[in-house]
Structure 1
Amino acid sequence: MSKVYTAYAPASSANLSVGFDLLGIAVRPINGQPLGDFVSSRELDKDEVGNAGSNLLLKTEGRYVNKLPSDPKKNIVFDAYELYRSKLQAKGLEAKRLELVLQKNLPVCSGLGSSASSVVAAVLAIDAIHDNFLGEDGCMQMMGELEGKISGSIHYDNVAPCYLGGMQFIMNEGGHISQNIPYFDNWYWVLCFPGIKVSTSEARAILPAQYLRQDVITFGRRLATFMHASYTKNEALATSCLVDVVAEPYRASLIPGFVEAREYGSAISALATGISGSGSTIFSIFNDLESAQKMKEYLERQFIANEDGFCHICKVDPEGAFVDSADNM
């Protein structure tokens, strides 16, 4: 009897206005509904054949499955298996022949770490069935490599919180990739995806090639102050820093209704409203549930553009990704 390993990787929100490419949180809806991708792995039987004669049989399902490439070999989960296989081969080992099933619950190019969720879940499901050969550090590095393949450069601001949970500060110095940062557990994060797509490459292309010295200083000052406020639990100081001088002034034009949503949030005492990752999802922070619910209702009426959109009131997910196992009957 073979084992089936199922990995869950939550949605994440990166940048958080104050920490472009350096800060990210894992999120979970307060209603208990999962918001993230699942990947399950099991070893293929001898008579089962992989995609196009490969050692992997990749299947896809879920709400946003129709947004994925029709060719399995163009799916990032397929890339994850091939990269894992190459790492084993470098050690003189062979990867198992697998069936991987991706349940795609996050919309692509949404600003919710959709690719990171698939990458993290895939790597964990593959590593679990290989008795955790890579371990935490090896998995993290591989996740970064796969994210880099999608976006063009390695970055961990979605991968790290998705994998490790909580709020993560991306250091990438001295052999350390990220550091867990204290967060305000009383904050409600209203996250709304309007249903429109903003590609990471498009969102990066709109940014200037150079910034004014004063903007650079302001960015560094606010990020340092936010970190200090997070450690000292100074909520007022932390919220005063949640202003984006790097990306939002340029990316706001890519998201219809964002400016109006921020104005509404401010009118009902939002601590901050900003763009999640590269968009099109936006976030609004409250320290009381009633106001968060009002923001959710407004966004569902005024911001969501089509049936693909959704809105959730979330808290920071302290756990991040995890793997369960069951016997394959």
Structure 2
Amino acid sequence: MIKIYAPASIGNVGVGFDILGAAIKPINGSLLGDCITIKLSENFQLVNKGTFSHQLPINHEQNIVWKCWYKFCKLIKKNIPVSIILEKNLPIGSGLGSSACSVVSTLVAINEIFNNPLNSKELLLLMGEVEGEISGSIHYDNVAPSYLGGLQLIIDDSKIISQTIPNFKNWFWIVAWPGVKLSTAEARKILPKKYTKDICITNSRYLASFIHASYTQQSHLAARCMKESIAEPYRSKLLPKFTENKQNIQKLGAISCGISGSGPTIFAVAENIKIAKKISEWLTKNYLQNKTGFVHICYIDIKGARKIG
């Protein structure tokens, strides 16, 4: 029996639409992500557990875990039945890479129990394929950090899919999910099909500057460059009082604030724990819409998917 954990992630990281992604872990040591427990079996079996298991389809063949198993078996040309327990600890449609967590943990677990027939690149390609069927297009900014850990730059080259870039160890990442769902596919539909040359140049400048600042460890330059002109101006309309909330968070001392993935989760960055706690408390009081919502103060999770238990 094998148990695999895959962490939540912040897609886009503000400035890098579909190009940057960061795996995160709460500073209190709790697991913010999905777990898969797997063993060989006579027939395929799937049990859903966890806080958000009620959001999953009843029909196993509509479950992303079954799709991962089916595609994996098809790829290696062997039908090997397994028994799987999915602990669904992330809400669907949260903007924290919920589907990516399930995909990554499942495929890592299946590959492990099948004696690793796929290498890491083949596994990541399969993760992107399965994730793409859910969101409508293949993108790696959630699956890559959840699988590999750290802050990932998605290169999507024929030989190199993703590369780890340096992060800032003194940064605290505060994530707040308000307790409501937002469809990734719907959040992508709201975006324009074309952008002006000025917007493209500006976004490229900020992204390049952020990457440069990350490698040269210029924390304040990196924070100033986390400005987003591709998705945030449009998706912010789908989030409750986003502009007002962003301004209040920045007044509390956040050096950056943005939408995590497609939303409705938002993230903020602080350089010390005192400010991080103030932001966390403010978001808990002002951004959460029901009792299922949550706020976590996090570090970057450099380990990615891993065995636990």
State the identity %.
Answer: 45
Partner of 2:241: 257
Q: Is the 1:124–1:323 contact (alpha carbons within 8 Å) kept by the matching residues of 2? A: no
Query: C-alpha displacement at 1:72, in angstroms?
Result: 1.1
- Note if 1:66 corresponds to 2:54: yes
The one-letter amino acid paired with 2:83 is E
Q: Is the 2:10–2:142 contact (alpha carbons within 8 Å) kept by the matching residues of 1? A: yes
- Note if 1:167 corresponds to 2:151: yes
- Note if 1:284 corresponds to 2:268: yes
The one-letter amino acid paired with 2:40 is E
- Note if 1:234 corresponds to 2:234: no
The 5 A counterparts of 1:201-280 are: 201-280=185-264
2: CA distance, partners of 1:10 / 1:266: 27
The one-letter amino acid paired with 1:252 is S
The one-letter amino acid paired with 2:164 is N
1: CA distance, partners of 2:63 / 2:291: 24
Where does structure 1 lack aligned partners over 5 or more consecutive residues? 47-54
Q: Is the 1:167–1:181 contact (alpha carbons within 8 Å) kept by the matching residues of 2? A: yes
2: CA distance, partners of 1:133 / 1:71: 28
- Provide the secondary structure at the position in 2 that maps to 1:39: strand
- Provide the secondary structure at the position in 1 that maps to 2:264: coil
1:158-197 CA deviation, whole Å, 9 max, x = no partner? 0000000000000012411001000001000000000111
Partner of 1:57: 45
- Provide the secondary structure at the position in 2 that maps to 1:176: coil
Query: C-alpha displacement at 1:136, in angstroms?
Result: 1.1
Partner of 1:294: 278
- Note if 1:178 corresponds to 2:166: no
- Provide the secondary structure at the position in 2 that maps to 1:172: coil
Query: C-alpha displacement at 1:133, in angstroms?
Result: 1.1
Partner of 2:9: 12
- Provide the secondary structure at the position in 2 that maps to 1:222: helix
> Aligned in 2, Cα 1:324/1:312: closer, same or farther, shift over 3 Å?
closer
2: CA distance, partners of 1:73 / 1:174: 31
Partner of 1:189: 173
Partner of 1:36: 33
2: CA distance, partners of 1:156 / 1:250: 22
- Provide the secondary structure at the position in 2 that maps to 1:83: helix
Q: Is the 1:56–1:81 contact (alpha carbons within 8 Å) kept by the matching residues of 2? A: no
1: CA distance, partners of 2:202 / 2:280: 31
1: CA distance, partners of 2:245 / 2:172: 16
The one-letter amino acid paired with 2:23 is A
2: CA distance, partners of 1:68 / 1:318: 28
Query: C-alpha displacement at 1:323, in angstroms?
Result: 2.3
TM-score (norm 2): 0.98
From 125, 145, 148, the counterpart of 1:141:
125
Q: Is the 2:128–2:143 contact (alpha carbons within 8 Å) kept by the matching residues of 1? A: yes
2: CA distance, partners of 1:111 / 1:281: 5
Query: C-alpha displacement at 1:257, in angstroms?
Result: 2.8
Query: C-alpha displacement at 1:135, in angstroms?
Result: 2.1
- Provide the secondary structure at the position in 2 that maps to 1:192: strand
Q: Is the 2:94–2:177 contact (alpha carbons within 8 Å) kept by the matching residues of 1? A: yes
Partner of 2:22: 25
1:303-323 CA deviation, whole Å, 9 max, x = no partner? 000122100000100101012
The 5 A counterparts of 1:88-99 are: 88-89=76-77, 94-99=78-83
The one-letter amino acid paired with 1:142 is L
Partner of 1:50: none
1:57-79 CA deviation, whole Å, 9 max, x = no partner? 11101000011111111000000
Partner of 2:136: 152
| Larger-Rg structure | 1
- Provide the secondary structure at the position in 1 that maps to 2:161: strand
Where does structure 2 lack aligned partners over 5 or more consecutive residues? none
From 70, 74, 91, the counterpart of 1:86:
74
- Provide the secondary structure at the position in 2 that maps to 1:173: coil
2: CA distance, partners of 1:313 / 1:260: 21
Partner of 1:119: 103
2: CA distance, partners of 1:207 / 1:154: 16
> What RMSD in Å do the two structures reach over aligned CA positions?
1.0
2: CA distance, partners of 1:316 / 1:206: 29
Q: Is the 1:23–1:157 contact (alpha carbons within 8 Å) kept by the matching residues of 2? A: yes
From 45, 65, 76, the counterpart of 1:77:
65
